Amino acid sequence: MIAGIVRRALEEDIGTGDVTTFACVSEAQQASGRFLAREELVVAGLQVLRPIYDERGGVDELTLLKRDGDRCVEGETIATVRGRARTLLECERVALNFLQRLSGVATTARQYSEAVAGTGCRVLDTRKTTPGLRLLEKMAARAGGATNHRMGLFDAVLIKNNHIAAAGGVAQAIVRARGTGLPIEIEVRTREELREALENGAGHLLLDNLTPEEAAAWVREIAGRAKVELSGGITLENVRAYAETGADFVSSGAITHSARAVDISFRLELA
């Protein structure tokens, strides 16, 4: 799957050929390059480098000096590559796009996970990912310390308000979902829905758009009868307050949809 993502990215950028590189650089020219952290970051996405260079060919050596999840300081070398100069140049932007984006996700995930340290609450990612890049972005979130939630609509049941309405109620939705044999989580918005969900054996509850004070009251009422996830409006500034409510999980789409691409550069030297 990663190879396919990489192939599409290279085709999008290179198209029929890198006309600038072909015009300026001879086919025989060899070079080396370094990926450098230009700021403090948590690196992720290193697994895309080998498929990128394998797709284009002509690279003799790729050395990863860091692993996904490692913290880098400004000026540190993340990876080195050696081979045909044309390949290094035509792959430069695609490689950086992946590393900058995915390291941004990992860096944001690390900030969230560190913010809740010591509370016993885990940070979950969401499905609010870049279309086509979910696998890589969830790998980056995990490298940063977040826990992956479901990968898609196919691997776990998450019953939300519209599902409840369409099924005819909380009990009906839970009963029907049990037939899938998959893990079930259900969103509850009122005390009546909460009571009904617990009476029907719900083991994982989603509480959305509550204040930390409201969430703490709901968690006390649940009293360990089900796992609790909090979501909605959770930011770096307030995530610890939510984690301290006693919830088992907090989820934030910002880890993927609002992560800033970090500053990584590529330095080329002729061999």
Taken in order of first residue, the domains within the chain and their CATH numbers are 2-112+259-270 (3.90.1170.20), 118-257 (3.20.20.70)
pLDDT of residue 196: 96
Residue 181 has pLDDT above 90, yes or no: yes
140 burial (CB, 10 Å; 0-12 / 13-18 / 19+) is buried
206-260 confidence digits (pLDDT tens): 999 999 999 999 999 999 999 999 999 999 999 999 999 999 999 999 999 999 9
Residue 50 has pLDDT above 90, yes or no: yes
pLDDT of residue 37: 98
Sign of CA dihedral 54, 56, 60, 61: negative
Q: Using 50, 70 and 90 to split pLDDT, how confident is the model at 271? A: confident
State pTM to two decimals: 0.96
- Distance of alpha carbon 144 from alpha carbon 73, whole angstroms: 15
The DSSP result for the chain, as a single string, is -HHHHHHHHHHHHHTT--HHHHHHS-TT-EEEEEEEESSSEE---GGGHHHHHHHH--EEEEEE-S-TT-EE-TT-EEEEEEEEHHHHHHHHHHHHHHHHHHHHHHHHHHHHHHHTTTSS-EEE--S---TT-HHHHHHHHHHTTPBP--SSTTSSEEE-HHHHHHHTSHHHHHHHHHTT-S-EEEE--SHHHHHHHHHTT--EEEEES--HHHHHHHHHHHTTSSEEEEESS--TTTHHHHHTTT-SEEE-THHHHTPPPP-EEEEEEE-
Phi, psi dihedrals of residue 219, rounded to the nearest 5° = -60, -40
Pairing of strands 184-187, 204-208: parallel
Chain mean pLDDT for the chain: 97
Give the percent of the chain with pLDDT over 70: 100
- Distance of alpha carbon 15 from alpha carbon 61, whole angstroms: 25
Find the Cα–Cα–Cα–Cα dihedral 214, 218, 220, 225, rounded to 10°: -160
pLDDT of residue 18: 97
pLDDT of residue 47: 97
Cite the active site residues. 93, 128, 160, 187, 208
